[in-house]
Structure 1
Amino acid sequence: MTSSTTPGGLARFNSLEEHAASAALHEVCASSVWGSALLAGRPYATAAGLFAASDAAMAQLTTADLEEAMAGHPPIGRPKPGDPTSSREQRGMAGASDDLKAEMLELNLAYQEKFGHVFLICATGRTGEQMRDAVKERIGNTPEQEGENVRAELGKINRIRLGHLVQEDQA
């Protein structure tokens, strides 16, 4: 498929200079290994090809790579100030009661103490209660089980963010 028949958002991503594409990918996922793998695969003929490359790169990330990726994610209930992406993704916590927010803070801290990193979940479309229930369920996991959960959730987040990156209507 040539760039003239590639959807506009994807063609724009494919044509970015390497440093700009790298910066855009870093906004999607903070793992430098993941970003380098996606850069190396350009140009992508389809969004599905980009998503497949993301999934393949995600599957290859080491524990250290996953830790680097997680460092780019704020705790649930505390999106980064001025970051529209984390605010959009965590919209389900925006209208949560003070009690639920306090409970989420306690659960986040307990989870982080147990696993050594933030609780990571694809929060898009989830309510505050659903996120609370998920952390309550997952805090009982082994580190190995939780590592696989983190990898799967990060993969979902990356797909959503990549979709936004290659949308047609971006300038």
Structure 2
Amino acid sequence: MTTSSPPASGASSQDSAGLTRFNTLPREAAATVLTEVCAARDWAAALAEGRPYSTPEALYAASDAALAELDAKGLDEAMAGHPPIGRPKPGDPTSSREQRGMADADEGLKAEMLEMNLAYQERFGHVFLICATGLDGKQLRDALAARLENPPERERENARTELVKINRIRLGRLLAEPAADAPA
């Protein structure tokens, strides 16, 4: 599986402080924080058990490895934690921020995405998963249209690859949280 780079090159002092906070959380608290990054419990447990991490890059690598090890049930659990593109969960700032590219889409594009999302879920049995950060509505629509043509096995691996990217971004944000706002 191809992985992406960590969200930022080099660790800032804030990331280092965030990593220290994460490494020192009680195991259950760490697992809870991690399930907010990725809904797969086995992934969260593996990362919580693997602490302490010496660098953010070590955490990202452990995340990638744990995601690669997820069985079909774990991958389904991870995907189930993501709302369809264009329909972020109400009150969920994470999915709203990640899907910001759809916020300015016109009503026609939003309707097209809804129809295509439903077709995708019908064909593959799971949500269309893409690292939407930085993509606009047209790019998201084009990616969805292209991936609708894939065989199911390929789409599951595409979803796993996209989860790697999403998890790295979310872990980076977790490490960058100010101490007062960090989940405990």
TM-score range for the pair, normalised by the shorter chain length: over 0.9
Percentage of matched positions with identical amino acids? 66
Q: CA RMSD in A?
A: 1.0
Given candidates 110, 114, 121, the residue that maps to 2:123 is 114
Task: Provide the rounded CA distance (Å) in 2 between the counterparts of 1:70 and 1:170.
Answer: 29
Q: CA deviation at 1:98?
A: 0.3
Per-residue Cα deviation, 1:42-93 (whole angstroms, up to 9, x for no partner)? 0111000000000000111111111000111000000000000000000000
What number of residue pairs does the alignment pair up?
Answer: 166
Q: Say if 2:76 and 2:126, in contact at 8 Å, map to a contact too.
A: yes
Aligned to 1:81: 90
Secondary structure at the counterpart of residue 132 of structure 2: coil
Given candidates 2, 19, 41, the residue that maps to 1:32 is 41
1:146 paired to 2:163: no
Given candidates 107, 110, 134, the residue that maps to 1:125 is 134
Per-residue Cα deviation, 1:90-120 (whole angstroms, up to 9, x for no partner)? 0000011000000000000000000001100
Aligned to 1:44: 53
1:154-169 to structure 2, matched below 5 A, reads: 154-167=163-176, 169=178
TM-score by length of 1: 0.95
Q: Say if 1:7 and 1:168, in contact at 8 Å, map to a contact too.
A: no
Residue type of the alignment partner of 1:144 = E
TM-score by length of 2: 0.88
Using CA pairs under 8 Å that are at least 6 residues apart, name the structure with larger relative contact order, 1 or 2: 2
Task: Provide the rounded CA distance (Å) in 2 between the counterparts of 1:15 and 1:110.
Answer: 44
Residue type of the alignment partner of 2:169 = I
* Structure 1, 56-65 or 104-113: larger mean CA deviation: 56-65
